[in-house]
Amino acid sequence: MANEAIRKAARCAGVPFWAIAHALEISEATMTRRMRTELSPEETERVLRAIENLRHGQRAEQLILK
């Protein structure tokens, strides 16, 4: 399965994909489609950073990551 590290990090942190998508300023549908194939290392890092920030209690609205 593609993007296993992201899936595991989100699951362990209890962060739903919709919150990650919101932090990245993309729709949940776009997030789901991107997860179908392996992301670039740079994009993977952005997503993992968003998960980590959300895990530490920052709301998705505070995490606009570009």
Q: What is the mean pLDDT of residues 38-46?
A: 97
Q: Is the pLDDT of residue 14 over 60?
A: yes
In total, how many domains does the chain have?
Answer: 1
Q: What is the mean pLDDT of residues 6-20?
A: 96
> What's the domain range around 49?
4-62
Q: What is the mean pLDDT of residues 23-34?
A: 96
pLDDT at residue 66, rounded to an integer:
47
- Joined together, the tokens standing for residue 56 give 């530490």
* Long-range contacts at 25-28 (CB < 8 A, ≥ 24 apart): 25/64, 25/66
Q: Tell me the C-alpha distance between 30 and 52, whole Å.
A: 20
